[in-house]
Structure 1
C-alpha cells in the first residue's frame, strides 16, 4: 500500500512537484495498479514458457566482405563539408 509519504518520495526521486490535490488523486490510483499486480501474482504460470519477446526474432547477419562492392568515402571527401577539421580529423568543441 502506497502512502502519501511514499508518493512524495517517488515524486522527489522523479523530480516532480505534486500539489496536495495531486497527492490525493494519485495515491489511490497507484494503489489500484499495485493491487492489479497482486492479482497477476495469483495466476498459475507453471506450464507457461517464458516470453522474452512477443515476436520470433532472429539476428540477421551479413557476410563480412573484404572487397565490398560499396565504395567508401576517402578521408578528403568525408572532411570536405566539415565546418571544422584539424590534422585530418573532424574537430568538435570540448565537452569539459
Structure 2
C-alpha cells in the first residue's frame, strides 16, 4: 500500500488535525514505514499456530476483599467547612 499526500490529508481530516507541509511529509514517511513493517508480517508462515486470545492463562485473578480501618464519620465531618450531625452541608445548586 502506498501512502500519498491524499491519504495523509484524509487521515488528518478524519482525526481533526492540521499539519504543515513538513509535518505532513514526516507523517507520510512514518506511515509508510509502519505499513511496510506490517506487510512483512504477512510473509510469515503461521500454519499450525493457534490464535492468541490472552497473554496469560490466568483467568479472573482477583484479590480477596480485606476490611481496612478507615476514618470515623466524626473525624471526617470535623474537617468539613459546614456539617450537620451526620452529613456534609453544601450550597444549594438546583433552583426550583
Q: What TM-score does the superposition give when structure 1 sets the normalisation length? A: 0.59
How far the C-alpha of 1:7 sits from its partner, in A, is 0.9
Count of equivalent residues: 88
Root-mean-square deviation (Å): 3.3
Which residue in the other structure is 2:77 paired with? 79
How far the C-alpha of 1:84 sits from its partner, in A, is 6.0
Identify the structure with the greater strand proportion: 1
Question: Structure 2: any 5+ residue segments left out of the alignment?
Answer: none
Alpha-carbon distance change, 89 to 5 in structure 1, aligned in 2, over 3 angstroms: farther
How far the C-alpha of 1:34 sits from its partner, in A, is 0.5
Q: Between Structure 1 and Structure 2, whose CA radius of gyration is higher?
A: 2
How far the C-alpha of 1:16 sits from its partner, in A, is 3.0
